[in-house]
Amino acid sequence: MTDKRVDDTSPVLAVGVSGTVGRHVGLQLAAAGVRVRTLAQRELLDPATLEAAAQGVDAVLLGWPFPTADGAAEAVGVLARNVGRVVFLSSAAVRAEGEVEVEALLAGSGVRHTVLRAYGFATALQWAEDIRSGAAVQGYGGAAGLNPVDERDIAAVAVRALNEDGHDGARYLLTGPESPTQAEQVRIIGEAAGRPAHWEEIPREAARHRMLTTGRPPAIADGALDFVHARIADPEPATTTVQDLTGTPARSFRAWATDHAALFR
């Protein structure tokens, strides 16, 4: 990695460092001695604030957590005019309109950039309450093979792409080393936490009803359920990108569960 030391280089602008991935990027950049300037994600939508934050910046860690692309053209325009490179945290699975559009805007902007795509993160906190309370984890598609990537591994790749040359134009698909089914993932967490945990399959219609009652638009719910259904016959594949780029194998889901077992007890 290019050695960037405090006070003798431009800072990295990290947007959303309170986030699942962003907090690890911030910690890893700090450990590498890289100067970091932070910006709250909503400030991406305020061009004047973004413009001020981008002054003198070498590289930007960018996420787009918004469902639409509203404001994206302005934000990417500001970044393209002011910064050296952008590393964009994107998705490979159910892709939000905003993420697709930001990727296209970056490609058309001329700014040097790298796209990091993941299917899903290992952060399985949506199951924590049920597992802690001893309840079954109810859901549709327990046999769907999903490939969660550890957020620390995404962060390690992001830090390299922010600091090293050689990643311009790359679209990296980051995965874990295997694709356990959702039911297996619940079992793995239970083993790591030392308490019984199991999946209970519910019909697709019941899962859809739950999604709608928690505010998901019908098209989003149907898209997510179609996606999970397809992964029963066609599990998400594993790539070697994390190891290829960092020299260290991607962490397994079991390793994530072991390191976070306290959250499930």
Residues in contact with ligand NAP by CB under 6 A are: 16, 18-22, 40-42, 63-66, 89-91, 99, 118, 120-121
Residue 198 CB, nearest approach to ligand NAP (Å): 23
Q: Which is nearer to ligand NAP, 26 or 190 (CB)?
A: 26
Residue 102 CB, nearest approach to ligand NAP (Å): 9
What distance in Å separates the CA atoms of residue 171 and residue 146, rounded to the nearest whole number?
20
Q: Which is nearer to ligand NAP, 20 or 252 (CB)?
A: 20
Residue 220 CB, nearest approach to ligand NAP (Å): 14
Say if residues 99 and 128 touch (Cβ distance below 8 Å).
no
Residue 134 CB, nearest approach to ligand NAP (Å): 26
Residue 118 CB, nearest approach to ligand NAP (Å): 4
Residue 119 CB, nearest approach to ligand NAP (Å): 7
Strands, sheet with 59-63, edge to edge from the N-terminal-most edge strand: 36-39, 12-15, 59-63, 85-91, 112-118, 171-174
What distance in Å separates the CA atoms of residue 74 and residue 76, rounded to the nearest whole number?
6
Q: Which residue is nearest to ligand NAP (CB)?
A: 19
Q: Which is nearer to ligand NAP, 44 or 255 (CB)?
A: 44
Q: Which is nearer to ligand NAP, 174 or 197 (CB)?
A: 174
* Length of the chain in terms of residues written: 265
Q: Which is nearer to ligand NAP, 32 or 94 (CB)?
A: 94
Q: Closest Cα partner for 6 from 27, 38, 30?
A: 30
Q: Which is nearer to ligand NAP, 16 or 141 (CB)?
A: 16
Which residue(s) pair with 116 in the sheet? Answer: 89, 172
Structure tokens at 199: 């999946």
Q: Which is nearer to ligand NAP, 18 or 240 (CB)?
A: 18
Residue 90 CB, nearest approach to ligand NAP (Å): 6
For residue 194, the Cα-to-chain-centroid distance in whole angstroms is 28
